Amino acid sequence: MTLSYNPNRVFRGHKIKCIDFLLLSILENPGKQQRFHTRRLFQWQHKFEDPHSGGTNIAYFKNPIYRDILFVDISPKTVEYWNNITGVQFKSWQSQIHLTPAGFDRANKLRTKLELNQIDWESAGHPMACIIDQPMV
């Protein structure tokens, strides 16, 4: 397999960071799973499908610098699992990633830089996305 890596992170003629690409993906596809966005990021970086089914670059969604500041998972936590340290905990069956207002502003500024039209808040997913841990209705 030949790697055609995108080392300069060029998108539409501009150099952007990986987190910015993820924010654009979330802005254009609100409510999709984390793996959907990491698959798109991997494809942009390497020009072929992620052999780990979206598991590469998943650290962006676990990092507290980004999570709950730029984007949030609003899916209901209903699946029970066992943690050896804390005992029984709950997680969601499938994540629903939405931008917070800070992430939304950053993504729209990037769209302006890339000479794309901005997206309105009302058309960018569910309005409850800015309220952390509130499931969509």
**Residue 114 domain-assigned?**
yes
Confidence band for 133, pLDDT divided at 50, 70 and 90: very low
Q: How many domains does the chain have?
A: 1
Q: According to the model, what pLDDT value does residue 3 have?
A: 46
**Residue 59 domain-assigned?**
yes
**Residue 128 domain-assigned?**
no
**Residue 16 domain-assigned?**
yes
**Residue 127 domain-assigned?**
no
Residue 109: domain span: 10-121
**Residue 48 domain-assigned?**
yes
Look up the pTM and report it: 0.77
pLDDT in tens, 51-97: 777 777 778 888 888 888 888 888 888 999 998 999 999 988 888 88
DSSP per-residue letters across the chain: ------TT-EETTEE--HHHHHHHHHHHSTT--HHHHHHHHHHHHHSS--TTTT-TTTHHHH-TTTBTTTEEE-S---EEEEETTTEEEEE-SS--EEE-HHHHHHHHHHHHHTT-----GGGSS-GGGGSTT----
- CATH code of the domain in which 28 resides: 1.10.10
pLDDT in tens, 3-53: 455 555 677 777 888 888 899 999 888 889 888 998 888 888 887 877 777
**Residue 117 domain-assigned?**
yes
